């Protein structure tokens, strides 16, 4: 049985796609401190991407025997008890191809960790593992990644970015401005449990995002302290003492102590500036001692539903040529904001000679950079647009209405299918608010627009139907949950 997710959990499609990209690697590690969304990422991948995936959860200090039994229960047609390493390998090989997720609530004991290492070393063909754990040291993660046997999804990849914070705020119905989002990212390091907890509490207390973190720390700080204390239950007295010093802003001594905590997954992360505690852990704004992030760029807002608009801080971008604008639109429509130079050439100059296409793409890249630079200066252009092997928009700073629509519809569909209708209603209403009409009206004749327009029209029709269905099903009083008009 997989755990039930809360109604405000948002789908992390980027993580699901990343995990799917490396499914041929024997083991994918998800290693990060508690509360970084490892379980949510694994369950999302198993539900939405994997074709033959199975999940087992392990309690703290799991033994070798506990791991074998959890795997046995997770496998289809669970039969006889798995009593040895060899019997485990046979059970997995007989069900290949298979993906098995092993999710540790804390850490296994020494023999349990040895069992996982042995399993990875001897893993049968067409069997891959997803291993979620807070500590990379206990499972020899570094060795497996260095040998090419494993890939690592760490705290940096699991952390919420600007787009994730905006999405959760919209889902919870919390009002926000761009500076509010930047501030939330700064004070939390994108720690998913902290961000989500602060936003849920803000929704309960009718606070804006600007007030959310302090409101959460004041009202739910004691619950957070209990969460930290539970994590420290099984660690050494020395490591627990170091974490408590971090929490009260005391010196932790030599910086090697921070590295030790990071290796154990105890609320320390590694950045380009070295090891430092997670900012939300300290009540004394410890992050001032370890350096702040560089000043973030103002968001580039892109509207693709209805009439196209791209603006920064209320100032529309003035495009040099129609073709430059079209290729920017094409990139904005891509789910990851990226396209290769070859793909761009095939779409916009299908009959031209290769060297002419290459020159045309270079000209487009130069013109897009110039158009953006007129507003922000050339030193900030790469915060929005880069042109290397691929042409790419930085979706942390480029906010595209189509992406918001898709994210909310996908989250709504997931909640709807689980019968969580109130949460689905919130997602669907957010999607309906973003949908302003047909896709790129001025470019509706273009093949790369027309097919997507039909898809979005169909998805929006489903959104409208489901909003009204949910309202009718739950029989809410008029005005409590709005119906969708379809406009």
Q: Model confidence over 301-323: pLDDT tens digits? A: 999 999 999 999 999 999 999 99
- Contact 385/395 with Cβ under 8 angstroms? no
What is the pLDDT, as a whole number, of residue 288? 32
Q: Are strands 398-400 and 27-31 parallel, antiparallel or unpaired?
A: unpaired
> To the nearest 10°, the Cα dihedral for 260, 264, 265, 267?
-40
- Contact 199/209 with Cβ under 8 angstroms? yes
In angstroms, the CA 72 to CA 79 distance is 7
Token digits for 331?
Answer: 């990139």
Q: Model confidence over 329-364: pLDDT tens digits? A: 999 999 989 999 999 999 999 999 999 999 999 999
Taking 70 as the pLDDT cut, the residues of the chain under it are 1-2, 7-8, 249-250, 253, 282-296, 475-487
Distance, C-alpha 60 to centroid of its chain: 25
- Contact 120/149 with Cβ under 8 angstroms? yes
Identify the CA nearest to 431 among candidates 414, 445, 419: 414
Cα–Cα distances in Å, from 335 out to 171, 246, 291, 389? 20, 39, 33, 18
In angstroms, the CA 341 to CA 362 distance is 9
In angstroms, the CA 40 to CA 87 distance is 30
Domains of the chain and any CATH numbers:
13-158 (3.40.50.300), 162-290 (no CATH), 299-487 (1.10.10.10)
Token digits for 154?
Answer: 């760490």
Token digits for 161?
Answer: 């970015």
What is the pLDDT, as a whole number, of residue 366? 95
In angstroms, the CA 161 to CA 182 distance is 9
Residue found under tokens 């170091």: 242
Identify the CA nearest to 293 among candidates 319, 317, 272: 272
- Contact 116/27 with Cβ under 8 angstroms? no
Examine residue 97 and say whether the peptide bond preceding it is cis (omega within 30 degrees of 0).
yes
Provide the phi-psi class of 479: left if phi over 0, else alpha when psi is between -120 and 50, else beta: left
- Contact 319/328 with Cβ under 8 angstroms? yes
Residue found under tokens 């401005």: 177
What is the pLDDT, as a whole number, of residue 477? 43
Contacts 24+ apart (CB under 8 A), 75-81: 75/100
What is the pLDDT, as a whole number, of residue 15? 94
Strand partners, 182: none
Q: What is the DSSP string of 362-431?
A: HHHHHHHHHHHHHHH-GGGGGGTEEESSEEEE-TTTEEEHHHHHHHHHHHHHHHHHTT-HHHHHHHHHHH
In angstroms, the CA 408 to CA 173 distance is 12
429-466: b (≥16 Cβ within 10 Å) or e:
bbbbebbeebbbeebeebeebeebbeebeebbeebbeb
In angstroms, the CA 193 to CA 174 distance is 17
Instruction: State the SS3 of 272-336.
Output: CCEEEECHHHCCCCCHHHHCCCCCCCCCEEEECECCCEEEECCEECCCCCHHHHHHHHHHHHCCC
């Amino acid at each position: 049985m997989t755990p039930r997710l809360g109604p405000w959990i948002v789908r992390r499609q980027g993580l699901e796609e990343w995990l799917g990209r490396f499914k041929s690697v024997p083991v994918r590690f998800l290693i990060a401190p508690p509360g970084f969304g490892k379980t949510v990422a694994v369950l999302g991948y198993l539900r939405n991407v994997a074709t033959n995936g199975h999940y087992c959860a392990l309690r703290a200090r799991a033994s070798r025997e506990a791991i074998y039994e959890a795997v046995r229960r997770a496998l289809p047609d669970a039969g006889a008890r798995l009593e040895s390493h060899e019997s485990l390998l046979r059970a997995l090989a007989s069900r290949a191809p298979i993906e098995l997720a092993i999710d540790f609530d804390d850490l296994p004991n020494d023999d349990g960790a040895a069992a996982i290492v042995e399993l990875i070393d001897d893993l049968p063909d067409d069997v891959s593992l997803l291993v979620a754990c807070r500590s990379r040291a206990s499972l020899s993660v570094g060795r497996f990644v260095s040998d090419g046997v494993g890939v690592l999804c760490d705290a940096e990849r699991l952390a919420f970015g600007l787009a994730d914070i905006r999405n959760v705020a919209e889902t919870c119905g919390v009002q926000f401005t761009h500076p509010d989002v930047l501030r939330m990212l700064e004070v939390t390091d994108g720690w998913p449990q902290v961000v989500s907890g602060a936003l849920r509490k803000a929704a309960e207390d009718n606070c804006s995002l600007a007030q959310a973190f302090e409101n959460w720390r004041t009202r739910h700080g004691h619950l957070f302290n209990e969460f930290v204390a539970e994590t420290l239950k099984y660690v050494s007295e020395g490591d627990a003492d170091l974490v408590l010093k971090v929490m009260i802003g005391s010196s932790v001594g030599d910086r090697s102590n921070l590295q030790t905590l990071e290796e154990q997954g105890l609320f320390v992360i590694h950045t380009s500036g070295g090891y430092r505690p997670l900012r939300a852990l300290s009540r004394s704004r410890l992050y001032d001692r370890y350096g702040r992030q560089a000043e973030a760029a103002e968001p580039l807002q892109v509207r693709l539903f209805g009439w196209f608009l791209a603006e920064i801080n209320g100032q529309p971008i003035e495009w040099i040529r129609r073709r430059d604008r079209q290729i920017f639109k094409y990139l904005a429509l891509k789910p990851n904001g990226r396209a290769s130079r070859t793909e761009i050439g095939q779409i916009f100059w299908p009959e031209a000679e290769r060297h002419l296409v290459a020159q045309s793409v270079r000209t487009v890249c130069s013109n897009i950079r110039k158009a953006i630079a007129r507003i922000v200066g050339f030193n900030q252009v790469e915060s929005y647009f880069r042109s290397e092997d691929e042409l790419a928009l930085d979706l942390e700073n480029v906010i595209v209405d189509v992406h918001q629509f898709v994210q909310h519809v996908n989250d709504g569909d997931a909640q709807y299918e689980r019968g969580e209708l109130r949460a689905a209603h919130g997602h669907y209403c957010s999607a309906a608010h973003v949908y302003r009409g047909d896709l790129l009206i001025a470019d509706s004749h273009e093949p790369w627009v027309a097919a997507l327009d039909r898809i979005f029209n169909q998805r929006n029709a489903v959104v409208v139907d489901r909003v009204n269905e949910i309202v009718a099903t739950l029989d809410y009083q008029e005005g409590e949950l709005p119906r969708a008009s379809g406009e």
